[in-house]
Amino acid sequence: MQGNQQGQLIYVVSDSIGETAELVVRAGASQFDRFLFDVQKYPYIEDKESIDEIIASAKESRAMIVFTLVIPELNAYITKQAALHGIPALDVMGPLMNTLQGMLKEPPTGKPGLVRRLDEEYFRKVDAIEFAVKYDDGRDPRGLLRADVVLIGVSRTSKTPLSMYLANKRLKVANVPLVPEVEPPEELFQLPIERCIGLTINPEQLNGIRTERLKALGLTAQANYANLERIAEELAYSKRIIERLGCTVIDVSNKAVEETANIILEMIRKNNLRTERK
């Protein structure tokens, strides 16, 4: 490929934003460091008329075309027109999709922009996990009003594991421990009740969980933390706060984190459906 002062023109053509093709072009161009390249993007191409304009411009400018058009009709059209006018053209996605189709015995969806949607989903998940860590265990009550879900309950009712599990489902979750000696943050009482979920548990099971926790920390199992009377006091206090809020309660006794999380996800789904119908 010959270079010039203006740089060798490469047209990146895509039915989405063109990130994939541009990345491939820049990676390839980096291996020819004695030449200049001018990359021009043509995103969101959805019709043959737009392709005709690009072909005409590429022919006049002696540009190369690199494209990611997953709609079969447009892919075939730009391939044909480039060959007809003697324009160098590279189909970035086609060979890979053809190979996958042959291996999987199933045609591709032909929907543009799916990679970007996957990227957006990934970053939403990362944001949700960072949110769950930041607003774990009532560290900053200012996060409560920004949360999709707020979990409340006494210590060792799986608030943190649930927060992280739901964060992986792209929900922003905060949690607040309920302790008799500490008044809950006022932000908790400003939440819509459908966004707040109270967690409760059988006293004897909680006693066993806390006892094992103390042992793991090298502390005596007789500490007040695992005392049944103390546990009963905490659960009674938690019940009063939950009733004051009027929020949904889930008994996590003998439930795996995944089971409780699925209950919460189903509740959210139903709430969203009710909202959409209004």
Provide the percentage of residues in the chain whose pLDDT is more than 90.
68
Which run of H or E residues covers position 124?
helix 114-134
Q: Rounded mean pLDDT of 61-65?
A: 95
Q: Tokens 């004051």 identify what position?
A: 244
Structure confidence by residue, pLDDT tens digits, 28-39: 999 998 889 999
* Averaged pLDDT score across all residues of the chain: 89
Q: Rounded mean pLDDT of 76-91?
A: 96
Of the candidates 11, 9, 84, 77, the one whose C-alpha atom is nearest the C-alpha of residue 46 is: 77
Structure confidence by residue, pLDDT tens digits, 172-201: 999 999 999 999 999 999 999 999 999 999
Rounded distance between C-alpha atoms, residue 155 and residue 206, angstroms: 9
pLDDT at 256 over 50: yes
CATH number assigned to the domain covering 8-112: 3.40.50.20
Are 234 and 199 contacting, i.e. CB atoms less than 8 angstroms apart? no
Provide the percentage of residues in the chain whose pLDDT is more than 70.
91
Rounded distance between C-alpha atoms, residue 136 and residue 228, angstroms: 26
Binned at pLDDT 50, 70 and 90, residue 2 comes out as very low
Binned at pLDDT 50, 70 and 90, residue 164 comes out as very high
Q: Is 208 helix (H, G, I), strand (E, B) or coil?
A: helix
pLDDT at 125: 86
Lowest-pLDDT range of 97-101, 122-126, 226-230, 239-243: 97-101
Where is the binding site for ADP, in residues? Answer: 153-160
pLDDT at 57 over 80: yes
Tokens, residue 225: 């933390």
pLDDT at 114: 58
The pTM score is 0.61
- 3-state SS, 179-198, equals ECCECCCHHHHHCCHHHEEE
pLDDT at 277: 55
pLDDT at 143: 93
- The answer to whether 8-112 and 119-276 have equal CATH topology is yes
Domain boundaries, given as residue ranges, for the chain: 8-112, 119-276
What's domain 119-276's architecture?
Answer: 3-Layer(aba) Sandwich (3.40)
Highest mean pLDDT among 19-28, 57-66, 122-131: 57-66
pLDDT at 271: 83
pLDDT at 273: 63
Where is the binding site, in residues? Answer: 153-160
Structure confidence by residue, pLDDT tens digits, 209-228: 999 989 888 887 668 999 99
pLDDT at 99: 83
Of the two residues 237 and 35, the one the predictor is more confident about is 237
pLDDT at 118 over 80: no
Of the two residues 236 and 274, the one the predictor is more confident about is 236
pLDDT at 12 over 60: yes
